[in-house]
Amino acid sequence: MTLFKKHQDTLTKAINALHARTFYAAFAEHPAPAVYGETADADGQAKFKNALGKKFEELKQQNAEGWAGQEESPYLQEALKVLYPTFSTNTLIDRAKKSFSSWRKTSVQDRAGILMESLERIKSRFFEIAYATMHTTGQGYMMSFQASGPHAADRALEAIAAGYEELNRFPSKAMWDKPMGKFNIQLNKEWRAVPKGISLVIGCSTFPTWNSVTGIYGSLMTGNPVVVKPHPGAILPIAIFVAEIQNVLAANNLDPNTCQLAADTFDRMISKELAEHPEVKLIDFTGNSAFGSYLESLPGKTVFTEKTGVNSVILDSVADADKAAANLAFSVNLYSGQMCTAPQNFYIPESGINTPYGKVSFDDFAQKFVEQINGLIDNPKAGPFVLGAVQNKKTMERVKEAESLPGKVWLKSRTFENPMFKNARVATPVVVEIDAAKKEVFSKELFGPIALLIKTKNTDQSIQLAQEMAMRHGAISCGAYTTDAMVHEKIADEMAMAATPVSFNLTGGIYMNQNAAFSDFHVTGGNPSGNASFTNPEYVTRRFTWVGHREPVVG
C-alpha cells in the first residue's frame, strides 16, 4: 500500500472539512491515555529531559559546520543547553537547490502521502514536543500539548489538503478541438503546476510549531524545498517536526535536505541573509511588524506574514455581566496574554453596559473584570497552569511600564508561586483605565498581560475606535458583547470592512484567543496585522504557477 492510499481517507475528510467549515480534527486534542497510551506522557517527558545538555543529532543534515543553542526555560530560568547543527547560508541554499529537482518531480499524491506520514510519526512525539514547548515558550502544559501537537498537526494537514485540492483543480492534459468550418484545429495541451523555488519559514518564540507548520507543509505540498529558521529561543519543538519530515523523506529515497533546519543564535542571526538570498523565492514569517514589513518589501519574493496587531473588545450590552467578565478575564490570563489573538483594548461606554437587570456602570464592570482575573490567578488548581510563564524578559519590563500609563490602575501586576516551578518567570495582568482621547497610548500592541479599559462616549465611538485601530495598526481578533441585533450587525459590518473577525457574546468554554483548523481563517491578510491567511486558497496557490504547453494533434 502506498503512503497516499494509507492516508487517503483522512485527506478526503480534511478536504471536505475545508468546504463545510464545521468541526473536524484528525488529531485528538486531549492527552488521554486511552488515545495516546498509558505511558505516553512519562515517555515524552523522559525523552525531553534526555535531550537536555546534548547535541540534537536526529537531523539528516550531514557535516555540521558548527553547533549552537541558546534556549532557556522560562520555568526554570536555566539554559536547556541543547546544541543544534549550524550551517552557512550558502550551504543551506545549495542543499535546497539540489533537492528541488527530485521533490518538484515527485507526484502530488506521493507528496501528500509522505507529508501525512510525517504527521503520523510526529503524533507519537506529541508529549515530547509538549515539554519542549513548555520549556522554550513558557506555555502551560495543556496549551503546550494542544497547540504544538494536535492543533499544529491539524493546521499542517489543512495546508496539505488545501494544496492537494488546488494542485488537482485543473486537468494535467486535454485535447483542444476548435471547429473552423471545413476543418478543426486540434491541439494537445498539458498544464504543469510549477513550484516557485526555495521556501524560507521564519518562526516565532511563543508558538514555534503552530505558527510555522502551515508554511512548511504548504510549501512542501506544492513542491518547494523548505528551510526552517526557528527563533533561537524556541528551536527544539520545530526541530522534532523537521527531523520526522526528514526521516520520511529518506525512507522514501528522497533527499532529506528537502526540509532543512537552519538554527542560529541571538548574536548571529541569519534570517536576513537567507531572506535576501536570490534563490529564496517564498518567505513565511511570524513576528514583529518592523521585520515583517521589511520582508514584504524585498523584491522578487512571495511573502506571507503574520505581524503585530491591536485586538479590541467592544462592550455594548450583555445578558450576564459576570459571565462576560469571566470569559474576558480568562482570555487575558491565558498564557499571560502572549498570544497574537489576545485582547488588549476594552472599549466600554462611560454610561455603562446594558443588561436585562439595568445598567452596569463602567466602574462596576471594571471591578468585576479585576475580580475575575484575581479569582483565576489565586486558584491554585488553575491559575499557574493557565498563565504559564513569560517567554521574554522584555515582556516583564513592558508589563511594569504599563503601570505608569496615564490613567487609573485598576490592577497592578504581581508574581505568584508556581507549585511545580519555584523559579518560573511569571507576571499577572495589569489593568489600566485609559481615556478614549489618548489614542497614542492604545494605538500600538502592548504584547503580554496588559489590558486597557478605554472609556468611550458611547458604543458608536467604541466601534469607530476598534475599526480605526484595526485599519491603521492591524488586528487579528476582536470580541464583542451586545444583545441588540442592530448593534450586532453594525459591529460585524464595520469590523468586516477592517478585515477583522469578531467573536460575539462568548461566555462559556470558548475564547476569542482560539482559532480552529478547517474552520477559522487565522489572520485575514486584509489589514496591517499580516498579508496572508491560513489556510485560504491563496495561501497555497501563491506558492506555485500554472504553466501550459501545447502542440498540434498528429494523425
Q: Cα–Cα distance between 362 and 287 in angstroms, integer?
A: 34
Q: Cα–Cα distance between 193 and 363 in angstroms, integer?
A: 59
Look at residues 183, 470, 216, 486 and name the one whose alpha carbon lies nearest to residue 343: 470
pLDDT of residue 36: 96
Q: Are 222 and 193 in contact (CB under 8 A)?
A: yes
Q: Cα–Cα distance between 209 and 238 in angstroms, integer?
A: 5
Q: Which helix (H) or strand (E) holds 367?
A: helix 362-377
Look at residues 298, 328, 323 and name the one whose alpha carbon lies nearest to residue 313: 328
Look at residues 328, 298, 296, 300 and name the one whose alpha carbon lies nearest to residue 312: 328
Residue 207 vs residues 50, 88, 336, 430: alpha-carbon distances, Å: 23, 25, 14, 23
Helix 126-137 vs helix 108-123: crossing angle, to nearest 10: 70
Q: Are 402 and 433 in contact (CB under 8 A)?
A: no
Q: Are 401 and 394 in contact (CB under 8 A)?
A: no
Q: Cα–Cα distance between 213 and 84 in angstroms, integer?
A: 19
**Per-residue pLDDT in tens (0 to 9) along the chain, 555 residues:** 899 999 999 999 999 999 999 999 999 999 999 999 999 999 999 999 999 999 999 999 999 999 999 999 999 999 999 999 999 999 999 999 999 999 999 999 999 999 999 999 999 999 999 999 999 999 999 999 999 999 999 999 999 999 999 999 999 999 999 999 999 999 999 999 999 999 999 999 999 999 999 999 999 999 999 999 999 999 999 999 999 999 999 999 999 999 999 999 999 999 999 999 999 999 999 999 999 999 999 999 999 999 999 999 999 999 999 999 999 999 999 999 999 999 999 999 999 999 999 999 999 999 999 999 999 999 999 999 999 999 999 999 999 999 999 999 999 999 988 999 999 999 999 999 999 999 999 999 999 999 999 999 999 999 999 999 999 999 999 999 999 999 999 999 999 999 999 999 999 889 999 999 999 999 999 999 999 999 999 999 999 999 999 999 997
Q: Which domains does the chain have, with CATH numbers?
A: 3-307+532-549 (3.40.605.10), 312-504 (3.40.309.10)
pLDDT of residue 417: 87
C-alpha cell at 433: 483605565
**Secondary structure of residue 503 in the 3-state scheme:** strand
- Backbone phi, psi, residue 358, to 5°: 110, 180
Q: Cα–Cα distance between 397 and 425 in angstroms, integer?
A: 12
Q: What is the dihedral of CA 134, 139, 140, 146, to 10 degrees?
A: -90
DSSP 232-247: TTS-HHHHHHHHHHHH
Q: Are 449 and 399 in contact (CB under 8 A)?
A: yes
Which amino acid, 220? L
End-to-end CA, the chain: 39
How many CA atoms, within 13 angstroms, populate the side-chain half-sphere of residue 336? Answer: 30
Q: Cα–Cα distance between 35 and 25 in angstroms, integer?
A: 14
C-alpha cell at 479: 470580541
Q: How many CB atoms lie within 10 A of CB 238?
A: 30
Which amino acid, 375? G
Q: Are 198 and 91 in contact (CB under 8 A)?
A: no
Q: Cα–Cα distance between 127 and 211 in angstroms, integer?
A: 18
Q: How many CB atoms lie within 10 A of CB 237?
A: 30
pLDDT of residue 1: 87
